[in-house]
Chains A and B, each alone.
Chain A
């Protein structure tokens, strides 16, 4: 089996564009419409606030949810934001669902948490406070800044490393590839935010960085092969031929590695803890698209540039 990837290179660029477009539209729409003016729905890690999660022994209907919301508002809780997290109750264990209530930051000494707990006690039979997460408003801004710094540093670090190990244009293609992947993941989460209220948190940024690392990882394997093949065949074959051969030689590896990583991620998604679900989902999406981008996107970019170089040389002569 031999794929002729280079031949259809513009088709793959078009596919990438089609993949990215809906997400970009969603991000622009979100930036304009959300009060936070962010491309994705952001959680308390970045806005500051308090999330109280109560485990209950019954499934919660949407009607019940709006009931509870009204009671909370009447009880003096401003703009409570409610969400149901369903637990796949394995052995019929006690907790059936988790009700997550997000409010503005509850400082120490405030009675808001007690108020909410009292209301929950009235609405459900013996709910259990399973998790409290609280982030002060100033800290939220700081975390947001730190995440952006981390992302930029990671990009810089990878560019530096790749430039050191490969030529700059390879490094640039790899960077464009990871921007491609990061944009796709952000886009999907922006859409999920609009449709299902999925919020991003500090873990999302780690997922994004892991995806970036992994995507570059894939791209490097292809480029490493190109570098090696160039040593032996640069006289016998054209660059496009070498690129095509390299992609094909590394294809099985690229797909298999992603497959084993995806197997573990799917296991985590389906059977793992409730709180890391979105984090794992971000990585699943990212690693899948990362495999696509390193095979079809980055490689074809380098190929197009090399072609340009060759024709520029020919024109000069």
Chain B
């Protein structure tokens, strides 16, 4: 009895800890609930890049992180996924189309020199590129007030640029951005200060254009071209609607399951209901503590696990009822109910966990959310159904004062023999029922 009381207080502590966690910790909600975009970017191989290396992916991730941060939205996530993919999560951006175009854009700045080929002037790469920059700035031309992009080279770049301009005195030097000619000023003298300026040619830059170029240059060029291969965007209205509906569905589901248990199994059913509420609290607290991001499919997994969580209790109570019908004493019946049902509970939950593990490793992100919540739910439910229910049953029926058959939903004439809480030896609870 003493051990049982200790366990009881341990359960009370767990409940308090769960409630505190639920109140203190924020719930991490998935983008499908709060609204936002999830993009999958895949690095593309080209003629020159035959294989995507982990190094390339790291610098791609770095460049993309920089760009995503420039969007000015909080709580963005950029994660590696597999060998050549990045998952980008952006909560609620006002113009996603623009953001998308911006993310995948290569920012190749390169300086070219003129060559004559078949009487035509062409531009040839010089090896001086955006990689040689230390930073880019937006400013205005003091003479005509047009927007320009100021470039500052790093040490290596300054030297290269000085050499190049020395070589090209009296000739034009072209600045290409993403393969497009931006301007081709004529070099009057060698520039050794490590600074240059891009004007937008004769018409000049529009503000947005110049700003974008500066951002892209500062964020760094993508080391490999990348394409968006998957997109999932949910507007905030639909997300809020989903949350509200899931709450209603969860409450109704839980309510009816509890009602069913109480009506069908009576006293043990009520105990199972309490265990179920504790289960819900523990699971929710666990989601917040780990934290597991709740998605719509995840919530479905959570609510589904409520239905499945009572399964263990149903198995146990059915068994207990059978034992009572066969004439076992109350205490023996409860104990053997738990002992006998355990293998069934364990085996059957194992298969659910196996499928969840497989889903988790093979599935896409939505599927992963579902698998994870269901698996955690199943594991916690085994604890709640076995430990918590058993403890409460022992504390309540162990006194021997409550023993009316109606408490178990049985009629008095269904009981074969004695119906007393006299047998307390656990070993004796292990006898078969039909022997």
Point out residues on A near B: beta carbons under 8 Å: 45, 50, 53, 55, 87, 93-95, 107-109, 113-114, 128-136, 138-139, 143, 146-147, 149-150, 153-154, 157-158, 161-162, 165, 202-203, 205-206, 209-210, 212-214, 216-218, 220-221, 224-225, 228-229, 231-233, 245, 249-250, 252-253, 256-257, 259-268, 270-276, 279-280, 283
Contact check, B256 vs A257: say whether CB atoms are below 8 A apart.
no
Minimum C-beta distance from A144 to chain B (A): 11
Alpha-carbon distance between A133 and B349 when the two chains are bound, in angstroms: 34
Q: How far is the CA of A146 from the CA of B365 in the complex (A)?
A: 13
Q: Is B56 an interface residue (CB 8 A)?
A: no
B363 near A108: Cβ-Cβ < 8 Å? no
Do A216 and B351 touch (CB < 8 A)?
yes
- State in angstroms the CA–CA spacing of A136 and B101 once bound together: 16
Q: Given the known A-B contacts A261-B308, A267-B253, are A55 and B314 also in contact in the complex, defined by CB atoms under 8 Å?
A: no
SS of A interface (majority): helix
| A135 touching B230 in the complex, CB below 8 Å, given contacts A263-B260, A273-B245 | yes
Query: What's the Cα separation between A262 and B256 when bound, in Å?
Result: 11
> How does the 8 Å CB contact mask read for B348-365 relative to A, with 1 for contact and 0 for none?
111110111111001110
Q: For residue A150, which residue of chain B has the nearest CB?
A: B362
Among A114, A267, A279, the residue within 8 A (CB) of B250 is: A267
Q: Do A206 and B297 touch across chains, with their CB atoms under 8 A apart?
A: yes
What separation, in Å, do the CA atoms of A135 and B97 have in the docked complex?
16
Question: Contacts A136-B230, A202-B367, A203-B297; is A131 near B351 (CB within 8 Å)?
Answer: no
- What's the nearest-Cβ distance from chain B to residue A47, in Å? 13
B residues contacting the other copy or chain, number (CB 8 A) = 77
Which of B238, B256, B306, B351 interacts with A217 by CB under 8 Å? Answer: B351
Query: Per-position contact with A for B329-352: 1 when CB-CB < 8 Å, else 0?
Result: 000000000001001100111111
Report 5 cross-chain contacts, Cβ distance below 8 Å, ordered by A residue.
A128-B235, A130-B234, A252-B318, A271-B245, A275-B296
List of B residues within 8 angstroms of A205 by Cβ: 363, 367
B322: interface (CB < 8 Å): yes
User: What is the bound-complex CA distance between A249 and B319, given in angstroms?
Assistant: 9
Other-chain contact of B363, A150, A231, A250 (Cβ < 8 Å): A150
Contacts of A132 in B (CB 8 A): 37, 96, 231-233
Please name the residue on chain A nearest to B354 by beta carbon: A157
Contact of A263 among B40, B235, B257, B357 (CB under 8 A): B257
A134 to chain B, nearest CB (A): 4
A252 to B260, CA, bound (A): 13
Find out whether the CB atom of B228 lies under 8 angstroms from the CB atom of A257.
no
Whether a CB of chain A sits under 8 angstroms from the CB of B261 is yes
Which of A134, A161, A283 meets B230, CB within 8 Å? Answer: A134
Per the 8 Å Cβ criterion, residues 85-135 of B in contact with A are 96-97, 100-101, 103-104
Q: How far is the CA of A275 from the CA of B242 in the complex (A)?
A: 8
Residues in B lying within 8 Å of A, measured CB to CB: 32, 37, 40, 42, 96-97, 100-101, 103-104, 227-235, 237-238, 241-242, 245-246, 248-250, 252-254, 256-257, 260-261, 264, 296-297, 299-300, 303-304, 306-308, 310-311, 314-315, 318, 322, 340, 343-344, 347-352, 354-359, 362-364, 366-367, 370-371, 374, 432, 434-435
Q: Select which of A131, A250, A266, A268 is within 8 A of B238 by beta carbon.
A: A131
Minimum C-beta distance from A217 to chain B (A): 4
- Given the complex, which residues of A lie within 8 Å of B100, measured CB to CB? 108
Known: A149-B362, A272-B249, A272-B300. A213 touches B351 (CB 8 A): yes
Contacts of B229 in A (CB 8 A): 135-136, 138-139
A276 to B229, CA, bound (A): 23
Q: How far, in Å, is A223 (CB) from chain B's closest CB? A: 9
Bound: A195/B384 CA distance, A: 44
Q: Which residues of A contact B306 (CB under 8 A)?
A: 264
Interface centre among B227, B229, B296 (most CB of A within 10 A): B229
Report the minimum CB–CB distance from B355 to chain A (whole Å): 4
- Alpha-carbon gap, A53 to B232, bound state (A): 11
Report the minimal beta-carbon distance from A147 to chain B, rounded to whole angstroms: 7
A146 with B235: CB separation less than 8 A: no
By a CB distance below 8 angstroms, the chain B residues around A261 are: 304, 307-308, 311
Cβ–Cβ < 8 Å partners of B230 in chain A: 134-136, 139
Whole-angstrom CA separation of A209 from B233 in the bound complex: 26
B344 partner residues in chain A, CB cutoff 8 A: 220-221, 224-225
**Given A132-B232, A229-B434, A264-B306, is A273 in contact with B351 using a C-beta cutoff of 8 Å?**
no
